[in-house]
Structure 1
């Protein structure tokens, strides 16, 4: 029986162990101890970049079900497992030097009547070396192994879930992204009038772009109702980049420019050959230019769909693109009685005021991204194909470009506030606690060997 199947057989057999009056004789399985991080996979990707001088990972010892006495568990880093790993996975990775790591404890206890030990922290440190020259740093783009195992226990150890292989790599690529499944990013400062929110209004061109990883293209919400859309970014029923739609390919990008500032409708038509796939990173972008009357969708830096002669036929003050609608409403609502007449044309009704710019949300709570995101941006110009290709993974000196009106790198790796790296400072805030997954490494496809 494979270790992973055996582990889940245990879980299914003793799912009722939380009961206070659990009877051990009720199960046909012997009790076992295992590492929580290894219950689904022994391999723990641990990739970091130059913004991460210290990296911490948590692990605990678990029992399948509680027992009447304390269970003692010893943990150890075991270099002897490196050769076995390399032979098994056909790799040639060396052991991580001991100067880069430490365990907060090498012995834990699972108390009587409990199934979980205290948390042990694996701390990776001095990864960037010393000084400006980073002397002694872990080399870039080289991979190392750090096997942590249950060395001894007063309880039988579950084979296959007793070892965690930490695969440690200092990467030159992007290594941090946010998981936005059942979550989204809001922008409180865009709901109120200020010079920095109004930069999102009165536009004649727009570019949205982001790095996106789709875990799945869900077809129903938690209540079982059909779902045909994954929201990426923008304003619902106005100017929104998404995947899928009713009577549309579930995995195809759609740029919905139904609002008065765009007027090109839902673009492009349904085309199964343009479907995206789950389980990989994409750079996705879309552009619209009122003056050129051109709309484009880009995938991995190349034009996937294009239409010319679409959108508003005549530019005017009345059909400018407004992405921060609530700021306009707030402008009229907070004006003095004497000033209100000059803002009358910017007074929006309650429904229009509710339209907001989001990342990962549109009409309701059940059109989530179902994946990961990094490097999200909004520009007040239609970026050229050359500009999009060159800057897919980073924007140098973002505060120097006034047309970059929003830039959320998602490189925090903790917390729920997403910094805006543009000069305008409209930080995002997650609706719920963000999950920051480990092991992120986004390949940079626009880089070629010198």
Structure 2
């Protein structure tokens, strides 16, 4: 008898719990909530002037009728954010953002709302010593309640490292450029370069026998590590016009160390200059007439060669020559940069800088697309989804 009572009691409790869960689900079903990230963080940098975010809301089951939503920036919620995250944030001033329409709608029969766009501007003028927050909340909704715990999106701005994420190729991945491979018009900015500078910030995990590729075109103009007769960690520039640039005394790289490489072609001086971490390592004069280079289309050095090859980052000739390491800040310029300009701009440059024709920051943090920040449209595509690594560069000096 006692056992039957215990089972009966357990059954009643189970029914009660199920009913409570059903009540909770029903309450949730009848409320609208934000589906966008509750907190979006931005790093303030001199080179980042603007940003755009979208906000959307949803309900758990299709709406019986149109649901109209109104959003607003709510300064009173700054203190809520600070209490929750122990932050000393201040309200982002109104002149630094625009809400492109404050109304959204969940149409009848749908579960997702239209977007509200938040545009941020002049971010480079904000102090990197201060944390700013903009709370944007659903203030009104027709015919439905708002889930109070999920109605607000916080946009947070603060100073930080210039580089926060990099791409790890892991000796198997690389970047190709469809616009270059197909000789599209957008690639013309990288062709017929009279003066030029190529830059890359890399960290190699391990140097093993065999070639590891940085960037360029095989058999034409290529920055790589090692070759037959070279040390596994010996940087080399292989060109058709200039031959090979390398020196076992000055061009040895260190594993697991961030290294900045800059190759300058100076037509007026008639020479190539190779810099490692801002230090001039090799100068090589042209032995004949100066030759311009083209990187925005497939090229070959000699007409008798069987095929032209395109520009890659992290790949050349065949599989097995990928870089066992990470990439950041790859750039092509149509000017010969000075040593001071190279030293002072290792970790970022203004995408609108004069002479900058291609700029791949490798800062996306997801997916396999590497965006060209110049706006010229020569985005890169990885062979497979990129392994993204969080970093903080430059590293703090202790």
Does the pair score TM above 0.5?
yes
1:298 equivalenced with 2:281 (yes/no): no
- Distance change >3 Å, CA 199–CA 348, structure 1 → 2: farther
Kindly state the Cα deviation for residue 188 of structure 1 after the two structures are TM-superposed: 0.2
- Distance change >3 Å, CA 254–CA 128, structure 1 → 2: farther
1:249 equivalenced with 2:231 (yes/no): yes
Query: Match of 1:379?
Result: 333
Query: Does the aligned pair in 2 maintain the 1:49–1:174 contact within 8 Å?
Result: no
Query: Match of 2:372?
Result: 420
Query: Does the aligned pair in 2 maintain the 1:206–1:378 contact within 8 Å?
Result: yes
Query: Does the aligned pair in 2 maintain the 1:218–1:370 contact within 8 Å?
Result: no
Alignment coverage as a number of residue pairs: 268
Rounded to whole Å, the distance in 1 between the matches of 2:176 and 2:359 is 14
1:360 maps to which of 309, 314, 317: 314
Query: Does the aligned pair in 1 maintain the 2:161–2:394 contact within 8 Å?
Result: no
Give the gaps of 5 or more residues in structure 1: 1-46, 55-96, 102-125, 143-168, 220-226, 330-345
Query: Does the aligned pair in 1 maintain the 2:247–2:282 contact within 8 Å?
Result: no
- Distance change >3 Å, CA 264–CA 347, structure 1 → 2: closer
Rounded to whole Å, the distance in 2 between the matches of 1:250 and 1:127 is 50
1:173 equivalenced with 2:162 (yes/no): yes
2:323 maps to which of 350, 366, 369: 369
Query: Does the aligned pair in 2 maintain the 1:177–1:413 contact within 8 Å?
Result: yes
After superposition, the CA RMSD in angstroms is 3.7
Query: Does the aligned pair in 2 maintain the 1:207–1:285 contact within 8 Å?
Result: yes
In the TM superposition, structure 1's runs of 4+ consecutive aligned residues that sit over 6 Å from their partners are: 51-54, 126-129, 139-142, 346-350
Kindly state the Cα deviation for residue 348 of structure 1 after the two structures are TM-superposed: 7.1
Query: Does the aligned pair in 1 maintain the 2:176–2:312 contact within 8 Å?
Result: yes
Query: Match of 1:408?
Result: 360
Give the gaps of 5 or more residues in structure 2: 1-40, 54-81, 97-127, 132-157
Higher strand content, 1 or 2: 2
1:321 equivalenced with 2:293 (yes/no): yes
String of CA shifts for 1:19-52, please: whole Å, max 9, x gaps.
Answer: xxxxxxxxxxxxxxxxxxxxxxxxxxxx984489
- Distance change >3 Å, CA 236–CA 387, structure 1 → 2: same
SS in structure 2 of the partner of residue 189 of structure 1: helix
Query: Match of 1:269?
Result: 247
Any residues of structure 2 matched to 1:90-101 within 5 Å, and which? 99-100=84-85
Rounded to whole Å, the distance in 1 between the matches of 2:276 and 2:251 is 10
Kindly state the Cα deviation for residue 218 of structure 1 after the two structures are TM-superposed: 2.5
SS in structure 2 of the partner of residue 386 of structure 1: helix
Rounded to whole Å, the distance in 2 between the matches of 1:400 and 1:171 is 22
1:399 equivalenced with 2:361 (yes/no): no
1:441 equivalenced with 2:395 (yes/no): no
SS in structure 1 of the partner of residue 253 of structure 2: coil
String of CA shifts for 1:25-81, please: whole Å, max 9, x gaps.
Answer: xxxxxxxxxxxxxxxxxxxxxx98448999xxxxxxxxxxxxxxxxxxxxxxxxxxx
- Distance change >3 Å, CA 422–CA 170, structure 1 → 2: closer
Query: Does the aligned pair in 1 maintain the 2:213–2:316 contact within 8 Å?
Result: yes
Query: Does the aligned pair in 2 maintain the 1:290–1:311 contact within 8 Å?
Result: no
TM-score normalised by length of structure 2: 0.59
- Distance change >3 Å, CA 423–CA 417, structure 1 → 2: same
Rounded to whole Å, the distance in 1 between the matches of 2:379 and 2:168 is 17
Larger Rg: 2
TM-score normalised by length of structure 1: 0.52
SS in structure 2 of the partner of residue 437 of structure 1: strand
